[in-house]
Amino acid sequence: MGQEILYCYQCQRRIVGAEFAKGQAYQVGNRVSCSSCAADLLQTLSSKEREALLAQMFKATQHRQGGSTSKMKNVVESSSPTARRQSTARIPVGQGRTAPHARAPMFAIGLGAAAAVIVLLLLVFSGGKTTPPDTSPPVSKERPAKLPASAPIPSREPAQETQREAGARGEFKKARDYAKARPEDLDGQIKAWEGAARASDKTSMLEEAKRELADCAARRREVLAGELAQLEIQVRPKIAAEEFKAASDLYQAARVRHDLPEWTGPIDRKVRELYDGAMQTAAPLRERAIAAQERRAPAEAQALVDRIARWGYPDLELEVRRAVEAAAPPAVVVPPGSGGMVACWPLAEGSGVTTADTSGKLKASLKGSSGWTAGRSGSAVRLDGSGAHVELPNTPELDRLQGGSYTISIWFKPDTLPQDPNEKSWGGAAALVMKGPFREGLVYIAGGHFLLIHWLAGGKWTAAGSWAETSGPGTWYHVVGVVDRGAGQDRIFVDGLLKASESWAKETPAQEFGPDRWTLGKVKYGGENDYPVRGALCDLRFYDRALEAQEVAALHASGPGSGK
């Protein structure tokens, strides 16, 4: 069992229970004093309390005197003349004895000294008003015993040490007063005890200051652990609902409570664990979303992406969303007669002077020295640049196509670059799919660029061209032109990629063309056979709507002939 620990009321020295029994400390009422501060305590007591303290001091004096009487007696006897005379006599060893009356004076002297101390203290603290009777025993005329010459002389404590002890006691008192006044402020108490420990360096109070400091630090760790446990209880419902960022925000908001490594360290670790946990949870969901996208279940894929988005980490959501979009399969090509497709001519018969659309109802005619050649896949129409062309029939859908939004798609393999010094606009052009008497549609010009030309009401025209790159002879190109009246924009695509766009006022009406037909290989502009084509063409398609970029890309990926 440990001893009870108390502190001196004045110097704050640590006192254990055993010191009371040894007469090294005293207690009067609620006040405890070490033996060094007992005299100061007497001045502050009432008469009754003072008598009680004097009784304790007298008892302690008796205890100490009882232990030293025999030693004093031996010293005094050895220094008396009689003893000296007896020491020189030739008396056998063991026959000499000290007379009984020789011990009595020494015992009386010890009791007399104790009584003298008590009387002196009474005189000091009673103010000298009464003179107690002289009860001291007769003083022996013999000379007092001398201490051995070799006995050490106690050294006085240097003034510097006294000042250090006093400063340490002051810091101890400040720390204890602060702890009593602010028991909940453990941070402040720790700072106060740190100051006491610094002030107690090289003093007897240093170890006690360290113990007090360690005790406060342990209690603060317990408090922080309790706060963290309560915070985890608040966060738990957020984590269960997969609101990981909201849970992280709760930790971040609590982080500023204590600017201590033992608090901010665990908080930062919890924040990292939440993000890492979200990453681990997202990994299988990401794979499921990609798989759903690949099997054409976009709703399922989107639901998984939305689930990850609710977690509150934008970077994680963006990465998953991009991965899912990249896994999107090619768009399904809409069959003729639905989804906005007006007509589709594969141009793949391989013989004859007519070619039919995929419905089998619309016939187009090969004119001039046109013929057949190997296509991108299968056969294709070949034009020699002499005015040979393919003339498409008049239908209500084709006749009014240019009046709204529409899309033209065709595969083309040029034999040469167009060159015509008399052509003032571009220095040479080849009409892939165009309508007169203006120049509406797709054209291949000098320099190896593709253009989409669209005429607006009032004789104004716009053009979007692949000016940034050259598409030279001998290669198959997939060329798509889009007129988006709702957006007020022309767009040109080559091999599934958007190359350029041109904007104009939304919903601007188109130029009226009358009964002129769409033609492959030439256009009726200034003459009958303007912009002749020299090359091969296949898979011509018309849509009465503006295809989106992903649809154009899917159409290119599917290749010619997929509309059959």
Condensed to tens digits (0 to 9), the pLDDT of residues 55-110 reads 888 777 776 655 544 444 443 344 444 444 444 444 344 444 444 444 444 544 45
Instruction: Answer whether residue 30 is part of any domain.
Output: yes
Amino acid, single-letter form, for residue 353: V
Same-domain pairing of 232 and 266: no
Express each pLDDT in 393-412 by its tens digit.
999 889 889 889 999 999 99
**Do 315 and 364 share a domain, yes or no?**
no
pLDDT at position 426 is: 82
- Residue 126 is encoded by which pair of tokens? 């009673």
Shared-domain flag, residues 232 and 245 = no
Q: Is 298 exposed, middle or buried (0-12, 13-18, 19+ CB in 10 A)?
A: middle
**What pLDDT shows up at residue 104?**
45
Looking at residue 73, its amino acid is K
Q: Domain check: are 57 and 20 in the same one?
A: yes
> Cβ(440)–Cβ(452) under 8 Å?
no
CA distance 39 to 330: 102
The answer on 207 and 251 residing in a single domain is: no
Strand-pair partners of 5? 16
Q: How many domains does the chain have?
A: 4
Say if residue 553 is in the same domain as residue 416: yes
DSSP states along 263-319:
HHHHHHHHHHHHHHHHHHHHHHHHHHHHHHHHTT-HHHHHHHHHHHHTTS-HHHHHH
Q: Does residue 428 fall inside a structural domain? A: yes
Cα Dmax for the chain: 170
Give the up-direction half-sphere exposure of residue 36: CA atoms within 13 A in the CB hemisphere: 8
pLDDT, position 490: 95
At which of 297, 326, 355 does a domain end?
326
Work out the angle at residue 477's Cα, subtended by the Cα atoms of residues 473 and 480, and round it to the nearest 5 degrees: 135
Task: Specify the CATH number for the domain of residue 424.
Answer: 2.60.120.200
Domain boundaries, position 117 = 5-80+105-126
Query: Is the residue at 372 inside a domain?
Result: yes
- Name the domain boundary from 212, 236, 260: 236
Residue 226 φ then ψ, to 5°: -65, -40
Burial of 94 (0-12, 13-18, 19+ CB in 10 A): exposed
Q: What pLDDT does residue 480 have?
A: 97
Domain boundary among 236, 255, 284: 236
Residues linked to residue 497 through DSSP beta bridges, in sequence order = 494
Neighbours of 201 (CB within 10 A): 11
115: tokens are 């009584």
Strand order in the sheet with 389-391: 354-356, 363-367, 389-391, 518-520, 429-435, 440-445, 449-456, 460-465
Let me know: does 354 contact 361? Beta carbons within 8 Å: no
pLDDT of residue 160: 53
Total residue count of the chain as it appears in this document: 564
Please report whether residue 136 resides in a domain.
no
CB neighbour list of residue 127: distance below 8 Å, 6 or more residues apart: none
- Alpha carbon separation from 197 to 190, 442, 496 (Å, rounded): 10, 91, 79
Q: How far apart are CA 513 and CA 511, in angstroms?
A: 6
Same structural domain, 496 and 416: yes
Structure-block tokens of residue 363 = 């016939």
Answer whether residue 153 is part of any domain. no
> Is 474 in the same domain as 389?
yes
Phi and psi of 508, rounded to 5°?
Answer: -65, 130
Task: Note whether residue 193 is domain-resident.
Answer: yes
Give the model's pLDDT for residue 206.
Answer: 87
If asked whether residues 504 and 535 sit together in one domain, one would say yes
Give every residue of the chain whose pLDDT is below 70, as ranges. Answer: 1-4, 63-161, 329-339, 562-564
- H or E element, residue 354: strand 354-356
Instruction: Give the number of other Cβ atoms within 10 Å of residue 397's Cβ.
Output: 13
Q: What is the 3-state secondary structure (H, E, C) of 429-497?
A: EEEEEEECCCCEEEEEECCCEEEEEEEECCCEEEEEECCCCCCCCCCCEEEEEEEECCCCEEEEEECCE
- Say what the pLDDT of residue 119 is: 47
Please check whether residue 139 lies inside any domain of the structure.
Answer: no
Structure tokens of 493?
A: 């695509």
298 shares its domain with 186: no
The answer as to whether 26 is a domain residue is: yes
Nearest 5°: the CA angle 163, 168, 172 is 150
**Residue 437, preceding peptide bond in cis (omega within 30° of 0):** yes
Residues 534, 429 within the same domain: yes
291/430 same-domain check: no
- Alpha-helix runs per DSSP H in 241-260: 244-254
